[in-house]
């Protein structure tokens, strides 16, 4: 009797997670602008299901969803979902191994970036063709944005400046595309981990190494990657090497941004800052460039400044004194 009840609960959870995943994904694809906000939530039902019922069941779930999307929606929809499905599989694989959160996030985002690059390379056949198609797509999207800004009422001078600088903007975006993709993957992964933390408050240790996220810090050797990548930008080297260094520099900067964000959250928590002011500060950090750079600097110089006094906490009483 007990086995039958468990099996029935498993089937119900499986169907609910599958339907939720499909609805979230189709809503994200079909609904303009607002739908994009739903895309990061697409992996959540499968992750929660896999965390509760095991990796194998989670893998079957994402495989079934991909098959149904391919069957009824076409290869394009299935291919679009496959990257999120890969994220689910990589996260489920990393859960329960007592890995630190930076290893889980970086490993998953890195795996997604490698697979996405391989798939794009396979479909386009050459880097030149892929760059040409991406350039055309970005140019078209930029033109659409300019038309929208024109209708909203932006000044003609600003729009003309945007049109003039469009080729340079597109060149920069294409150059840092790997870093931008990595940042996007990290954001989606962290959003899903945040919701898993909320849904399973007593199971944190079952998917990442336990610890207060407000006390998180990036691995200390990472600073050498940051310094070497930054130094390489000024070397008289080829464009490909400079592009590689720039992308590595930006990817490492993501981790120092997250460390800076952890420092901000640490002091907000310990100083009991009202939630309204916290929300306002986070909005400024995300959307205001100066605040973003300040948080990156905060994370970087925490290596020497130890702004949360974490090193002192790790000492025994005689050492601390």
Q: Which residues of 108-145 are buried (b: 16+ CB within 10 A; e: fewer)?
A: bbebbbeebeeeeeeeeeeeeebeeebeeebeeebeee
**Cα separation of 196 and 188, whole Å?**
12
Q: Is 193 among the domain residues? A: no
Q: Is 10 among the domain residues? A: no
Per-residue pLDDT of the chain (321 residues; tens, 9 = 90+): 667 788 889 999 999 999 999 999 999 888 877 778 889 999 999 999 999 898 999 999 999 999 999 999 888 888 889 999 999 999 999 988 888 999 999 999 999 999 999 888 888 887 788 888 888 888 888 888 777 777 777 777 777 887 888 888 899 999 999 999 999 999 999 999 999 988 888 777 777 776 778 889 999 999 999 999 999 988 887 888 889 999 999 999 999 999 999 999 999 999 999 999 999 999 999 999 999 999 999 999 998 999 988 877 665 544 444
User: What pLDDT score was predicted for residue 24?
Assistant: 93
User: What pLDDT score was predicted for residue 147?
Assistant: 79
Number of domains in the chain: 1
User: What pLDDT score was predicted for residue 7?
Assistant: 85
Residue 135 · residue 175 · CB < 8 Å: no
Q: Is 216 among the domain residues? A: yes
Q: Is 73 among the domain residues? A: no
**Cα separation of 252 and 224, whole Å?**
10
**Cα separation of 195 and 34, whole Å?**
19
Q: Is 164 among the domain residues? A: no
Q: Is 286 among the domain residues? A: yes
**316 sits in which H/E element:** none
User: What pLDDT score was predicted for residue 146?
Assistant: 77
Q: Is 291 among the domain residues? A: yes
Model-wide pTM > 0.85: yes
Domain of residue 238 covers 212-315
- Burial grade of 244 (CB within 10 A; 0-12, 13-18, 19 or more): middle
Query: Read out DSSP for 165-222?
Result: HHHHHHHHHHHTHHHHHHHHHHHHHHHHHHHHHHH-TT-GGGTS----GGG----TTH
User: What pLDDT score was predicted for residue 30?
Assistant: 86
Query: Read out DSSP for 241-266?
Result: HHHHHHHHHHHHHHHHHHHHHHHHHH
User: What pLDDT score was predicted for residue 319?
Assistant: 46
Q: Is 8 among the domain residues? A: no
Residue 188 · residue 87 · CB < 8 Å: yes
User: What pLDDT score was predicted for residue 36?
Assistant: 81
């Amino acid at each position: 009797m007990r086995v039958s009840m468990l099996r029935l609960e498993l089937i119900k959870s499986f169907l609910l997670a599958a339907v939720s995943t499909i609805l979230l994904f189709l809503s994200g694809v079909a609904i303009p602008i607002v739908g994009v906000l739903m895309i990061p939530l697409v992996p959540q039902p499968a992750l929660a299901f896999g965390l509760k019922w095991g990796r194998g069941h989670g893998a079957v779930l994402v495989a079934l969803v991909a098959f149904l999307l391919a069957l009824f929606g076409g290869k394009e929809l299935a291919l679009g979902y496959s990257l999120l499905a890969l994220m689910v599989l990589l996260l489920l694989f990393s859960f329960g191994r007592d890995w630190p959160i930076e290893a889980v996030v970086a490993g998953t985002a890195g795996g997604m970036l490698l697979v996405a690059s391989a798939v794009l390379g396979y479909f386009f056949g050459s880097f030149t063709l892929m760059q040409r198609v991406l350039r055309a797509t970005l140019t078209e999207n930029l033109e659409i944005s300019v038309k929208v800004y024109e209708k909203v009422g932006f000044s003609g001078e600003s729009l003309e400046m945007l049109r003039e600088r469009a080729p340079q903007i597109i060149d920069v975006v294409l150059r840092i595309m790997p870093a931008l993709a990595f940042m996007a993957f990290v954001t989606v992964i962290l959003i899903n981990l945040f919701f898993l933390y909320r849904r399973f408050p007593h199971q944190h240790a079952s998917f990442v190494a336990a610890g207060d996220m407000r006390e998180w810090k990036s691995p200390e050797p990472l600073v050498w990657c940051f310094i070497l990548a930054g130094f390489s930008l000024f070397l008289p080297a080829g464009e490909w090497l400079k592009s590689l260094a720039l992308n590595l520099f930006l990817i490492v900067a993501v981790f120092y941004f997250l460390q800076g964000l952890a420092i901000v959250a640490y002091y907000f928590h310990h100083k009991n800052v009202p939630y309204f002011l916290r929300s306002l500060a986070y909005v400024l950090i995300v959307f205001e460039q100066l605040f973003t750079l300040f948080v990156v600097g905060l994370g970087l110089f925490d290596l020497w400044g130890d702004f949360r006094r974490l090193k002192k906490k790790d000492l025994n009483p005689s050492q601390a004194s």
